[in-house]
Structure 1
Amino acid sequence: MKNLIKGIISASVLLGALAQGAERGNEAEAVAMVQKTIAHLKQNGREKTFIEVNDPKGPFVDRDLYVVINDMNAKNLAHGGNHRILGKNLMDLKDIDGKYPMRERIAMIKASGKGWQDYKFVNQATQQIEKKSMYSERYEDLIVSCGVYKQ
């Protein structure tokens, strides 16, 4: 009986860990989401894409993955995870460690056109500050990004 209970507990812990892992997006999915957004921009234009990116039930939100679009001056144009910052300039936004994610992102995009950056940000799903890796690509005068939260 004790072995059966231990087995049930172990299986529950394992299933819980697997379920939690399934709730989080990975790096490959973040890159794919950015590329999907850029393809959508090319095919459907900015207005339609921004509307769809802002839709929390739309095609650019998947579990804890969501697309963010900024201009090259750090103005937020679309955000699948936090509508409170739409239209705001994020140049002076700091993370908990004093990093300026948008300044870093713009410098990276100007230098190489795409890449990854790390900083800390509030995970909308957990409401906790977590480590985040954000993938970004330039499309015309836009920065299209999608990030993954790290445990």
Structure 2
Amino acid sequence: MLKVFIPRFVFIVFASMIIYSLSYAENLDTKVQKHNAATELKSFVERGAVLIAEKGEKAFDAFRQKGSEWFHDDRYAFVWDMNGLRYVYPPDTKREGEQVRDLRDVDDKAIGELIIAIALSKEGKGWMHYRWPKPGERAPSWKSTYVMKVQSPSGKAFIIGSGAYDMPVQKSFVVDAVDSAVKLLEHEGSKAFDMLRDKRSQYLYQDTYVFVIADDGIKLLNVAFPKLEGQNVIDYKDADGNYFVREFINVAKNKGHGWVDYQWPKPGGVETSKKSTYVRKAIVDGKMVVVCAGLYRD
């Protein structure tokens, strides 16, 4: 029988390639699952809202059933009324009936008030992000929660929501932040800049932050890179030579809103990363500005 001799270093390289490929595939699969989690969570809340719309408070017992589609692992739905009174809290039903309007996270972000504000908005639904310890842990982690308003057959309005930890930033999160910031700026004018800078607001989370540029390229607001405020950045180019600020302004002027891809450092960093930024035109104190927020694609 003919024996084939494979040098040891070739075998090691070949084995390493297999291990790397399996590891890459596993990591990629995990990333895909995390990104799909936002769509699944939103659908979960929407299905719960349908149940409340059909059965009203009779639906609440179903949400409390451990091991059911509504309460398993770390997934559950919570229900409040429009004043912040907690009706359903499956992890600890003894805490149902509590007033949670004043609920705040570790950064003093007004979670309760923000959830109610989302439910009272014209859309009546949306995402919010805050830092909260995972069960059994002390250190806070980022948590993304989707909430929506629903009316029961009796006519009483409720808020249903659910959240997940360490969810990657989604494009829908960024669009929500920009749209909300535009409404705030057009209502409050430049006075709104202080709120956009506030770390307790819904406009800063993970590596995402809202920034504002005048139509002549003057940086009006940038929480992550405050030294840029007041500077004209119209001629800024990224590592690939793209005049991305000019593109921000052109998209806002010609389309009203849209996405721009470019290279930019993460907050506190120096090396550039791939970034996609959503831009939208707004009128603030009678002048056009470009309101922006982005996500890092790596």
| TM > 0.5 fold call | yes
Corresponding residue for 2:293?
Answer: 146
| Contact preservation (8 Å) 2:177, 2:202 | no
* Number of residue-to-residue matches in the alignment: 138
> How much has 1:69 moved relative to structure 2?
0.5
Q: How does 1:24-39 map to 2 (within 5 A)?
A: 24-39=168-183
Which has the larger Rg?
Answer: 2
CA distance in 2, matches of 1:84, 1:58: 21
- Aligned counterpart, 1:50: 193
1:137 and 2:284 correspond: no
Q: What is the CA distance between 1:104 and its match in structure 2?
A: 1.1
For residues 108 and 43 of structure 1, what CA distance do their matches in structure 2 show? 23
Q: State the match for 1:7 in structure 2.
A: none
Q: Deviations over 1:30-60 (max 9, x none)?
A: 000001101111332222x111223344332
Q: Return the alpha-carbon distance in structure 1 between the equivalents of residues 268 and 207 of structure 2.
A: 7
TM-score (norm 2): 0.42
Classify 1:87/1:23 alpha carbon distance in 2 versus 1 (closer, same or farther; 3 Å). Answer: farther
> What residue ranges of structure 2 are gaps of 5+ in the alignment?
1-22, 35-140, 143-164
RMSD: 2.7
Aligned to 2:210: 67
Structure 1 residue 81 displacement after superposition: 1.4
Corresponding position of 2:252 = 109
CA contact (8 A) 1:64 1:125 kept: no
**Per-residue CA distance 1:1-50 (angstroms, 9 max, x = gap):** xxxxxxxxx9xx98x97689926422100000001101111332222x11
State the 1:128 CA deviation.
3.4
Corresponding residue number in structure 2 for 1:87: 230
Distance 2:167 2:230 in 1: 29
d(CA) in 2 for partners of 1:99 and 1:71? Answer: 19
What secondary structure sits across from 1:110 in the alignment? helix
Residues 95-117 of structure 1 show CA distances to partners (whole Å, capped at 9, x for unaligned) of 11111111111111121111001
Secondary structure class of the residue paired with 2:249? helix
Counterpart in 2 of 1:77? 220
Q: Which amino acid aligns with 1:30?
A: V
